[in-house]
Amino acid sequence: MRVDLLGTVAGAAKGMSRLAARVEYTGAGLEPDCLWIEVEQELAPQASRSGNPFLVGLLPLAMALGEPLEIVGPLDPVLLRNAYRVQRIWRTWYPELHMVALSGQGDAPAATPAAAAVFFSGGVDSFYTLLREDPHGPSPGQEVDDLILIAGMDITIGHPDAFALARANLAAAADALGKRLTVVRTNLRQTRWNITNWARLSHGSLLAMAALALEGRYRLVFVPSSVGYRLAPPWGSHPLVDPLFGTRSLEIRYDGSDADRTRKVACIAQSPIALRHLRVCWQSQSGQNCGACEKCLRTMVALELAGALARCEAFPAERRALQPLGRLHLYDSVRFRGWRRLAAAAANTGRHDLARRIDKAISRSLWRSGAALVARAVGRVSPWLGGRLERLVWHGIIR
């Protein structure tokens, strides 16, 4: 892969400035991509002038394709060295990936940025980073100047109305917290990069790319943790990996891994701002919480255990009775572990009724997963019948 930096180009959204690069692939028949990152126009003087954002953004794709990654532009030497460490970690987790050569053209000059930021989607993790108290030093929220919201991450750039709604909601939260909401837009997920495993490999690289797009502004960027220190499975944003995407002048700090989700929710449940503006749903693509998907339900149950669900305006009132628990389906080991911890927390707090409902949902999910495997086995003999059986299983018609 060869990445030619195009600098600032036309075509940006209103009020934004676009940094672009042309990405050419060595694989036969692979058409070039134009990858871009947009920052707010008033912050354009502090935007990156190096290849650092494109190196971290494209590293998962280079390893997936097995192509050397050549950046035609300067790179930070610390970042370049640590990118090989990232490769070794990812290769250990996912042996199907390839170790690839990395190169740039000279060293990127070190900046002297002053601001600090946190990635802010309005979710439990980011609110926890902003609101938690630290008895051993300044709380992360006290250090932060900006809240970074990325267009093109959980809400794709093809849903501008949904993003505008989410942005307005989170701007109100930022204003109430005395912070600046900063928007970064990118089309990374509309390029060939989207063949990578978003959840387990590559979403942390998108976060780091957004931070480095403003490396002239930020000395420190917090990544709210999505996995904890006790049970940290291979994941796209990880305490071992994310800090390695920093440079000589920008520290990327993974924050909050000492707390599980139940503890985080209990913390943010004390904040009326969080209860009004919390946004956890990635499935609805509406900019609002649907109140019925797995992630919404997981958060709502934790809020119920904290005694705050009835006060949480961020979820539809008609969903707060948790009726959709009867339709919950869990489909991987990470989610099974999370819900088992919630069931245990419910039992420990005397909510045995809720613990029983969760246990029933877990048992139903295990049965459906097993039945789906049987349907797929049937499908190897009769594709029509196997497909029909699997659809009946997932729609709950076969129980």
Per-position DSSP letters for 225-256, written without gaps between them: -SS-SSS--S-SS-TTTGGGG--SS-EEEEE-
- Report helix angle 261-268 to 333-348, nearest 10: 60
pLDDT at position 8 is 93
pLDDT at position 133 is 87
pLDDT at position 286 is 78
pLDDT at position 208 is 98
pLDDT at position 231 is 62
Task: Name the percent of the chain in helix, strand, coil, to the closest 5.
Answer: 45, 15, 35
φ, ψ (nearest 5 deg) of residue 91: -65, -35
pLDDT in tens, 230-254: 667 788 999 899 999 999 999 999 9
Are 218 and 211 contacting, i.e. CB atoms less than 8 angstroms apart? yes
φ, ψ (nearest 5 deg) of residue 368: -65, -40
pLDDT at position 328 is 83
In whole angstroms, what is the distance from residue 136 CA to residue 139 CA?
A: 9
Low-confidence ranges of the chain (pLDDT < 50): none
DSSP calls for 61-101: HHHHHT--EEEES-B-HHHHHHHHHHHHHHHHH-TTS----
Q: What pTM did the predictor assign?
A: 0.88
pLDDT at position 137 is 78
In whole angstroms, what is the distance from residue 157 CA to residue 139 CA?
A: 33
Are 291 and 304 contacting, i.e. CB atoms less than 8 angstroms apart? no
Give the list of residues 6+ apart from residue 207 with CB closer than 8 angstroms, or none. 119, 150, 153, 223, 237, 242
Burial class (CB in 10 A: 0-12, 13-18, 19+), 145: middle
Burial class (CB in 10 A: 0-12, 13-18, 19+), 10: exposed
User: 119 has which bridge partners?
Assistant: 148
pLDDT in tens, 24-47: 999 888 999 999 999 999 999 999
Max CA pair span of the chain: 64
